[in-house]
Structure 1
């Protein structure tokens, strides 16, 4: 079967709901998107569910499904994925957490879950905690991730993962730091982990609030990153590489370390530059150029990730989300003008929906497009959630879209004779 190439553009958290500030339109419907409209008019589209209707997923599970995995089989918890993304080697028996540098007051009330979206010197904060030894001899590994994010690993004997962590949750500023406990009070191993996590959290708070980085932040009128809020507890789990399964050479272009980590586990190479960030200032135009360069180098599958749409959703910034989508549209335009339509497919999707008014992930379908010379066309002409209700990809899942891409490109195997 003939082989072709593919580019997948992931607009993190793109999906949205009708927004009052946008006169009842979603950010995608409001945005000026001539290039996405071209993909739609010349391709197939729909609102695709990451797993199934109404199931909310995190960035980690969303990307596992986008990369063709059944997350029920391979998902180890967000913590291990974050730790691997941070470069920590996970051992059997380790307990890993994803975390945020956050801000709490003297009464352990969470003031800001992201410490003002701190972006600088988080490596210095993490280093001050890395290698901490707890009372029972358990070691704590701490490594910074993108912006306010951080990975935490407990390494010791007899630890369990069935615990409630310390983070009160998205948009829960004003609530108290959660005291970690085992879900089952009779679970000895998980009780030990909960005790260790509480000890680490309190000791980290004492170290962080006196750290020179935070003293300077307070002097500059910024929130102190004086706590690590943990969630996503998990342990190591085997995950096969899709690059080996399908025999493809793939690369991920992104600015988010979590996405890189998942792509790396899937067998992809990664490409990063300093101005490829997981924020609004990421260099979207340069990402487009690198995608075309990798296609010209002969890579089979190039994944381009943009985080900023998700940030706008979490911060309830619909106009900002419109602005980001219009920048992504220009990226799509560059790619369209610089690839051979007879040899390369372009797909566009999201890992989940993050509606601005909800400020969190929802179980809505995500806008999805597949474009190429021989793709069957449907009758939709304009990009937007309400238009995609009439698309031919409706009610499919992220793994379905992955398999369609692999089949278009010629990397699937025929069943039967």
Structure 2
């Protein structure tokens, strides 16, 4: 291919006007001269992650960004977390997204994230890894980012048609849920039974673990349970890189994003300093992404998780600060890339409005810059400044195809 492209994903950056920010969004409030300059050099607009008014999860939003129709291939969050953990799924496996959590002796949920535990989770996951269940199934457990963990049950005659054990985001104080079958067939009934068996075994193992005993001594909430959600089977989908004949790379700290990228056929790159938090190494990520372009990758994705965290925590000033840091990173990249040879794109997987503290169905600020891309004048960068742009009312999947078309990777329809 004659050109390359770099795509920056600002997870959850989209937002709504906030009174304490003078009725601006965090992105509009922040100082973003480099993002503004880039948007003025190409297509821009507010793009819907999937379709108008539909809130999506991080997993679904990124599937669309990576060129998939989530309505066609999505089977649940669990398989994506498994990919992110480096687990190669078997067709008979069922996979879950898990949270290390704190429960009491009655299995009442005290803290769904065990105080946002971010240390020693590998050892705790190892304690669960290999648990055998009474139906002969084996548990595979791998630590992910912070409190998150991938859980796979590997065995015969397992069903994904069951409920999971996490009582929900705002349901602390409720008991760990009993799994029940959603179908009346024997496989679903038996799978629900072994999930409940696993709940009991995880509590027994984790409660006695030395790491949790030490956390109690230090006054920290023990990670004595793993709450399960997002059950699903292996995703059956072609690798995007093979479908479009490109070589792709993904630089990220978030395991979910790395998992989707890996599933899509991209080579994934992660360093210890690339966290899924506020302390991530922005410039380090930029340097590594630039090095992958020099190595000849056609499409390089650079992911930043921090804006989403600020939205969930209702921290508008922090979210604006992440936008400023991201802009400095974009400036660093812009100084080292020639737009005659490499396009630069920017988008988000969804909006996470601070006052909502969750994902919304709003469109997200997006641009695609390059020396041969159509342009329009732009006053500044942010949601309200992009409403006259050419990308408005498109979807993330549309935006993906626009990038691939500029790379010459989309076949002509018709003669």
TM-score, normalised relative to structure 1: 0.96
> In 1, distance between residues paired with 2:19 and 2:172?
24
| Partner in structure 2 of residue 177 of structure 1 | 176
Contact 1:170–1:360 (CA under 8 A) maintained in structure 2:
no
Residue 244 of structure 1: which of 237, 242, 254 is its match? 242
Moved over 4 A (4+): none
> In 1, distance between residues paired with 2:84 and 2:260?
7
Q: Return the offset for 1:72.
A: 2.1
Q: Return the offset for 1:103.
A: 1.4
> In 1, distance between residues paired with 2:227 and 2:380?
42
> In 2, distance between residues paired with 1:22 and 1:176?
39
Secondary structure of the structure 2 residue equivalent to 1:324 = helix
Contact 2:83–2:262 (CA under 8 A) maintained in structure 1:
no
RMSD over aligned Cα, in angstroms? 1.5
Residue 342 of structure 1: which of 321, 332, 340 is its match? 340
| Partner in structure 1 of residue 228 of structure 2 | 230
Q: Return the offset for 1:171.
A: 3.5
Structure 2 residue runs of 5 or longer lacking an equivalent are: none
The equivalences for 1:16-415 within 5 A come to 16-184=15-183, 186-415=184-413
Q: Point out the more displaced range, 74-83 or 300-309.
A: 74-83
Contact 1:379–1:391 (CA under 8 A) maintained in structure 2:
no
Q: Return the offset for 1:300.
A: 0.9
> In 2, distance between residues paired with 1:15 and 1:187?
43
Secondary structure of the structure 1 residue equivalent to 2:302 = strand
Deviation sequence 1:190-222 (CA, Å, 0-9, x none): 221111111111221122122111111122222
Q: Point out the more displaced range, 120-129 or 136-145.
A: 136-145
> In 2, distance between residues paired with 1:318 and 1:106?
38
Q: Return the offset for 1:81.
A: 1.4
Deviation sequence 1:242-274 (CA, Å, 0-9, x none): 111111111100111221111111111111111
> In 2, distance between residues paired with 1:141 and 1:195?
18
Deviation sequence 1:55-92 (CA, Å, 0-9, x none): 12111111110011112222231111111221222112
Q: Return the offset for 1:346.
A: 0.4
TM-score, normalised relative to structure 2: 0.96
Contact 1:61–1:71 (CA under 8 A) maintained in structure 2:
yes
How many residue pairs align between the two structures?
415
Structure 1 residue runs of 5 or longer lacking an equivalent are: none
Secondary structure of the structure 1 residue equivalent to 2:40 = helix
> In 1, distance between residues paired with 2:79 and 2:108?
27
Contact 2:344–2:370 (CA under 8 A) maintained in structure 1:
yes
Deviation sequence 1:113-151 (CA, Å, 0-9, x none): 111111111111011111111222222211111111111
Q: Return the offset for 1:321.
A: 1.0
> In 2, distance between residues paired with 1:223 and 1:347?
41
CA separation of 1:112 and 1:291: change in aligned 2, threshold 3 A: same
Deviation sequence 1:9-47 (CA, Å, 0-9, x none): 001111112223323221111111111111122222111
Q: Return the offset for 1:6.
A: 0.3
